[in-house]
């Protein structure tokens, strides 16, 4: 499934598909990744921690006689979290952050993996037999992406990128401080809540939205974690139907019913030369000029 989503490396992830759309690592993609990581990594032992580059952290996790490599990338262009088959070398001298993660997470077992709402924020918690749990928090937010290590009381042990008051006066990320998540989208509705589609269907009926841009914008304003790509997908499917309101409702059910059950059918997209351009948790009608194949 999602472990095959990003077999392509950074050079391939950079490529646009023939339609000119970049396949994003958005909130629903992280949700699909979270589902799979729970299936494969819970109970696994973290055997190795590496930081091959300042923006990359790799955890080697042994679980049920299988070794998995979990990549956390905080680079501005390719920020993401996923399993990888690519072996990465270690930095000659480990950073202070890498050393801290090793000290607090190596040889411990993963007890929980969770996404914060429908934000691109992933919590990975590990604990030892006689040791308090620690949590690695991957914040996938473009140029503001970060990885933060916290103790059982939610205090910061260290971070890949320390953020001082001078950089962000609203949210310091420094050792010893209390970890505070990025501001939540409290004014938005979770699309995973039962019946949440009624908000967009009512907006369509009352405001008579007729263009892809209008419907996509409304979706992004109403719902938490609604990326432009996902909003455009729902809008495009709705506009392809004879009745737009019914079409959007059908698109919503086709996407979020299986997503709510954790039954994603991920697809890898390739160009005419077979180069992997990216992947998404389900088949997209926006990518018709590419070749899609099941991801596992």
**Is 169 a domain residue?**
no
Q: What is the pLDDT of residue 102?
A: 97
Q: At what angle do helices 197-207 and 244-260 cross, to 10 degrees?
A: 170
Instruction: Kindly tell me if the per-residue pLDDT of 245 is higher than 50.
Output: yes
Q: How confident is the model at residue 4 (pLDDT cuts 50, 70, 90)?
A: very low
- pLDDT tens per residue, range 164-205: 989 988 899 999 999 999 988 889 999 999 999 999 999 999
The answer on 212 and 284 residing in a single domain is yes
Residue 171 contacts residue 178 (beta carbons within 8 Å): no
d(CA 262, CA 217): 26
Q: What is the pLDDT of residue 18?
A: 53
Kindly report the pTM of this predicted structure. 0.91
The angle subtended at Cα 85 by Cα 260 and Cα 29, nearest 5°, is 25
Query: Counting beta carbons within 10 angstroms of the beta carbon of residue 209, is it exposed (0 to 12), middle (13 to 18) or buried (19 or more)?
Result: buried
Q: In what order do the strands lie in the sheet with 121-127?
A: 80-84, 66-73, 56-63, 45-53, 109-115, 121-127, 134-139, 146-150, 156-159
**Is 210 a domain residue?**
yes
**Whole-number average pLDDT of the chain:** 90
Q: How many domains does the chain have?
A: 2
Dihedral sign computed on CA atoms, order 270, 276, 278, 280? positive
Q: How confident is the model at residue 257 (pLDDT cuts 50, 70, 90)?
A: very high
Return the SS3 of 204. Answer: helix
Residues 6+ apart with CB under 8 A from 263: none
Q: What is the pLDDT of residue 288?
A: 72
**Is 3 a domain residue?**
no
Task: Provide the CATH number for the domain around residue 86.
Answer: 2.30.310.10
Task: State what percent of residues in the chain have pLDDT above 70.
Answer: 90
**Is 10 a domain residue?**
no
d(CA 101, CA 291): 40
The answer on 235 and 155 residing in a single domain is no
User: What do you get for the CA distance between the two ends of the chain, in Å?
Assistant: 4
Q: Which two tokens stand for residue 286?
A: 């926006």
The answer on 275 and 196 residing in a single domain is yes
**Poorest-confidence range of 26-30, 165-169, 233-237?**
165-169
d(CA 121, CA 37): 14
Domain that holds residue 92: 25-159
- Give the length of the chain: 296
Q: Using alpha carbons, select from 42, 162, 149 the residue that is nearest to residue 103.
A: 149
**Is 79 a domain residue?**
yes
Instruction: Kindly tell me if the per-residue pLDDT of 13 is higher than 50.
Output: no
- pLDDT tens per residue, range 76-121: 988 999 998 887 778 888 999 999 999 999 999 999 999 999 999 9
- pLDDT tens per residue, range 133-153: 999 999 999 999 999 999 999
The angle subtended at Cα 279 by Cα 278 and Cα 283, nearest 5°, is 135
């Amino acid at each position: 499934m999602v472990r095959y989503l990003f077999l392509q490396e950074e050079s391939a992830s950079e490529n646009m598909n023939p339609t000119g759309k970049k396949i994003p690592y958005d909130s629903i993609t992280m949700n699909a990744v979270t589902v799979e990581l729970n299936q494969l990594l819970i109970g696994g032992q973290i055997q190795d921690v590496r930081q091959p580059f300042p923006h990359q952290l790799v955890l080697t996790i042994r679980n049920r006689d299988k070794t998995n490599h979990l990549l956390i990338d905080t680079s501005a262009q390719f920020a993401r979290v996923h399993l990888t088959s690519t072996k990465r070398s270690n930095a000659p001298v480990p950073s202070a952050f890498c050393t801290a993660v090793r000290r607090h997470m190596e040889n411990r077992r993963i007890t929980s993996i969770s996404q914060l709402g429908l934000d691109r924020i992933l919590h990975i918690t590990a604990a030892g037999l006689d040791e308090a749990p620690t949590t690695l928090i991957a914040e996938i937010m473009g140029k503001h992406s970060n990885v933060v290590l916290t103790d059982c009381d939610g205090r910061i042990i260290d971070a890949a990128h320390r953020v001082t008051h001078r950089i962000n006066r609203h949210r310091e990320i420094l050792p010893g401080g209390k970890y505070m998540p990025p501001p939540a989208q409290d004014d938005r509705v979770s699309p995973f809540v039962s019946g949440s589609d009624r908000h967009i269907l009512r907006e369509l009926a009352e405001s008579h939205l007729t263009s892809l841009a209008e419907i996509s914008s409304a979706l992004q304003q109403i719902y938490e974690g609604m990326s432009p790509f996902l909003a455009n997908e729902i809008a495009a499917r709705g506009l392809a139907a004879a009745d737009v309101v019914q079409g959007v409702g059908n698109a919503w059910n086709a996407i979020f019913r299986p997503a709510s059950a954790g039954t994603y059918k991920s697809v890898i997209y390739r160009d005419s030369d077979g180069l992997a351009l990216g992947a998404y948790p389900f088949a997209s009608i926006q990518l018709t000029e590419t070749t899609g194949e099941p991801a596992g």
